[in-house]
Amino acid sequence: MSTYSGSIEESVKRLMERVSSRTFIKAVGKGTVKDIESLIEYYELTKSCVMLPQNEAKSLYNLYVASEGRIRKLLEGFLETMITIKSRDFAAIYPFMPSDVKELLKPLLNSNTDEGIKEVLGSVLSNLNLLGSALLNIAKREPGDVNGCVKGNCHSTGGC
């Protein structure tokens, strides 16, 4: 489609000029002009959006779900090992960790390790979950739905 983008842009510009011409309106009729204006508006809304076929979005979402589960299990195992087997070593090296890592792992210093692990996992996986939600929203969209698109722009959470 990229080979045609220049000619499509030119076609849209020509159509925009023509729909404002009285002779064009008389020649094709007001209904046709309204249809052309609707198509131009749709084109303008979606031209900078990435179009992702629904089956690909579903496939990406399934991949995300499988990956998120594996990442969660890996992190749970790692955090449990860090707390139970190496608790003295963890407490000893904690002050020397980078500040953002220390802030993230702070809940592990609490006496209730299960809650601490859940809290750390929630923090680590929160951004990953945003990706999953966005993919799920795209996978559920009806064909032609441009919800989340703004003229010439796409919202990062909605995609197009």
- pLDDT tens digit string along 137-157? 777 776 666 665 544 444 444
Report domain extents, the chain: 2-46, 54-154
The region of weakest confidence among 5-9, 68-72, 93-97, 119-123 is 5-9
pLDDT at position 46: 75
Strand partners, 154: 149
The model carries a pTM of 0.49
Are 44 and 38 a contacting pair, CB within 8 Å?
no
pLDDT at position 105: 80
160 has a pLDDT exceeding 70: no
CA 99 from chain centre, in angstroms, equals 28
- pLDDT tens digit string along 52-79? 777 888 888 888 888 888 888 888 888 8
Q: Which residues contact 19 (CB under 8 A, 6 or more apart)?
A: 25, 33, 36, 37, 40
